[in-house]
Amino acid sequence: MKKILLIILAVTIVGDIFIMVKHKGLIEGLDFGCGQYYYTDIPNWQHYFQGTHYESSVSMFVLVAIFFIWGWLMMKLWQKIG
Amino acid sequence: MTKIVNKQENEVSKDIVIAEKFQFSDLIRKEDWLAIWGAFLLILVAATGVVSGLFDFQGAKFNTWGTDENPSVLGAFSGDINIQLIVTFIAFLLLFTIGNKLQHKSAGKFILAFVGLFFLTSVVRVISAQDTFNKYLEYAFWALILGLLIANTVKTPQWLRPALQTEFYIKTGLVLMGAEVLFSNIQKFGLYGLGIAWGVTPIVIIFMWVLGTKVLKIKNNPLVITIAAATSVCGTSAAIATAAASKAHKADLAFAVGTSLIFTVIMMVGMPLFIQAIGLDPLIGGAWIGGTVDSTGAVVLAGQALGDLGGTVAALVKMIQNILIGFIAFGVAIFFTTKVDRTPGQQHVGAGEIWQRFPKFIIGFIVASLVFSFVLQPTLGVDTTGDIIKHLGQFKNWAFALAFTSIGLETNFKELGAQVQGGKPVVLYVVGQLFNIVLTFFVVWLLLSGQIFPIPTIEV
């Protein structure tokens, strides 16, 4: 088990270094990557996050209700299991 | 009366104050409340500057250097950066010095130490502004590296220690982050987004909790939940919030963030390649990336590799996950207060005790989120609110960078090595992430494949 773990870690770190040296995964013209942890860290984040791309037919009230009901249920489950 | 118990369930022993009666003087004496007031003051000044247009109050961000256009490190300092750097320094020096004074700590020693810490953090932020580092790792990684190097070679000088107040910086940064959590974004992708982001996340957290505490038998509960939140929500930001909510040890946060960062680089590159190789639809692929890749920047970039549709859907799903941070932190604080940290043998934890133990800065986080979502955005409009958030963003990053530098300066390799526990936390991350990937794919396929529900129309 430990050997497998060490191999995974070694491959990941070597892979990271290779990706960074070769600038893999980046897109020309986009000045960000996984170093931008939160959405507001992304340059010109409004372009990606403030536009309207989808018109929901479900009201905000219903979405909020589902959000809290599901959250409450999961909290109860966690407390029961934990 | 203050009662202190040893937290027996955790390998990393630490004393936790569990029953200290609330007094009104706490509002100006306790770190949690001072973090809230300090962050609110920054928000007020930034908002006033944006709305009135009289002044520009924003934190410093060094220019990216190491590029063809800006090859020299000196290029990091061009433009308005020096003024913004002075503004950031003075604003934080004032806030944290007053905070220390109100907590009856020596202001003189703090000021001297803070100057040193701010200088080191500036070095960190200049290093992380290098083109490659900026895109792949950024400040959390370099702050830990620089801090650890100093602490484990020349040793952290005593005069610097009064400024190593990790929790104070994190709490202040988190309240500032609350302003960025716009709850109205919940409707951006309707039931589809809610199902993918919010349907999966708590299940992954519970799965990882059971895996970590019952199967792998990791004794350090805050470490388990911090890794679980980083995996299932959004990496570094979620790890910071959850670590603070569960009162995790500094090394726990460093370990969770480090693990998340090294695997996110691989996922950012690997997931779009895999999706393209199997010929998956960009709508499904983008949503899959949005629900699984940790860092938000990596999500947008990996999604964009599938085209505009993939990038847009990935951002929509991740945006909803970004909202979850506050609620997850709230839930974790309640869970740890009532279940994990309760006195051994105690059957029921009363509301009063929950309040006493509850990390109060989370209230500030949620209030900031609610004010920006339901007061400022409807009254000032989306653009002005966005502008205020933009002005606050770098103050948040500076607060977190100060915290991570402090963590590095306070941690020795032996302490960090103790977190490894035979590799169990890494197993937790890897297995948890695999579960997250499989479950998210299943939910994404159910919702977006058109087999059961209509395929949503996305405008790009």
**DSSP string for residues in chain A:** -HHHHHHHHHHHHHHHHHHHHHTTT--TT----TT--SGGGSTTHHHHHSS-----SS-HHHHHHHHHHHHHHHHHHHHHH-
* pLDDT reported for residue B112: 97
- The mean per-residue pLDDT over the stretch B64-85 comes to 92
pLDDT per residue over B158-214, tens digit each?
A: 999 999 999 999 999 999 999 999 988 888 999 999 999 999 999 999 999 999 999
Q: Residue B224: name the closest of B340, B349, B348 by CA.
A: B340
| Chain B touched by A47 (CB under 8 Å) | no
Domain ranges across chain A? 2-50+58-81
Contacts of B191 in chain A (CB under 8 A): 56, 58, 63, 66
C-beta atoms of B457 and A54 within 8 A:
yes
Nearest C-alpha of chain B: how many angstroms from A44? Answer: 9
**Closest C-alpha to A52, from B384, B297, B316, B296:** B316
At residue B197's C-alpha, the angle toward residues B332 and B274, to 5°, is 120
pLDDT digits (tens, 9 = 90+) for B399-451: 999 999 999 999 988 878 877 778 899 999 999 999 999 999 999 999 999 99
Distance from C-alpha of B313 to C-alpha of A37, rounded to nearest angstrom? 18
List B residues 347-386 in contact with A (Cβ-Cβ < 8 A): 382-383, 386
pLDDT, tens digit (0-9, with 9 covering 90-100), for B281-307: 999 999 999 999 999 999 999 999 999
Average pLDDT over residues B243-255: 92
Q: What is the reported pLDDT for B352?
A: 80
Residue of A31, A37, A73 to mutate, testing the B interface (most B Cβ within 10 Å of its Cβ): A37
Residue B2: pLDDT over 50: no
Interface check A18 vs B, CB under 8 A: no
